Amino acid sequence: MYQPRTVWLSEVGEMAPLVGVVALQGGFAEHIEVLESLGTNTRRVRRSADLQGLDGIVLPGGESTVIDKLMRSFSLAEPLKDAVRRGLPVLATCAGLVVLATDLEDAAKGQHTLSLLDVTVRRNAFGSQLDSFEGTLDIDGVGDGVSATFIRAPVITRVGPGVEVIAQLPDEAGNVSGAIVGVRQRNVLALSFHPEETDDDRVHRTWLRQVSEEV
Ligand code: GLN
């Protein structure tokens, strides 16, 4: 599906970054496929030792309650938190956004978060009527009309002072118009949707360019 684009690396320098993808549950394989199609070296991250030497990390979608439990039982939660606090660039999608948030409106019983992104998130915000849908979004810093797949997606209902809103649902989105679906806070880029489920790789390209600038 994705054509290798090794040429693209010359745009950002010769060094291919090493990007970790948290691979406990959910859509990690799809992120790895996109990242590798763009010439990036990848590593599945399950334990704290896997964080060594990474230039960036992806928190994929899936089920945030399961990812939370596994991150804690694999003793990954605290070392991951430290790495992100020290500036490791993060791309979080869907459940990954839930995992990073400081506050959840409707956390499952016993659900923890890493509290790294100063936002409030409402899980499964579109309800069963609109479980999954595809659309296009204008994303600041990424581009216009970017393809986005929403799957039991969360929305962001509050953003803290250091958080920049980069994507909202369009005006014609009915009762969810204007909902915040993308934010950036320092080294964290977090999205409600799945850019890795589409053929549009602009989100990954943009994020990798930022990662490479830090390397
Ligand atoms: N609803 C899921 C959760 O709360 C997220 C869904 C997804 O990642 N596609 O974790």
Complete DSSP assignment for 12-27? H-SPPPEEEEE-SSSS
Per-residue pLDDT tens for 151-184? 999 999 999 999 999 999 988 877 788 999 999 9
Tokens of 2: 């994705």
Per-residue pLDDT tens for 68-82? 999 999 999 999 999
Is the CB of residue 92 below 6 angstroms from any atom belonging to ligand 1?
Answer: no
- Ligand 1 centroid to Cα of residue 63, in Å, is 5
The pLDDT assigned to 14 comes to: 60
* pTM, 2 dp: 0.92
The pLDDT assigned to 199 comes to: 93
What contacts 69, CB < 8 A, 6 or more positions away? none
Distance CA 47, CA 68 (A): 13
Regions of the chain where pLDDT drops below 70: 1-14, 129, 215
- Annotated catalytic residue, options 31, 194, 197, 204: 194
Contact 83, 45 (CB under 8 A): no
What is the number of alpha carbons within 13 Å of residue 93 lying toward its C-beta? 24
Distance CA 75, CA 69 (A): 10
Give the nearest ligand 1 atom to 95 CA: 8
Count other Cβ atoms within 10 Å, centred on residue 209.
15
Active site residue 204: no
Distance CA 106, CA 115 (A): 15
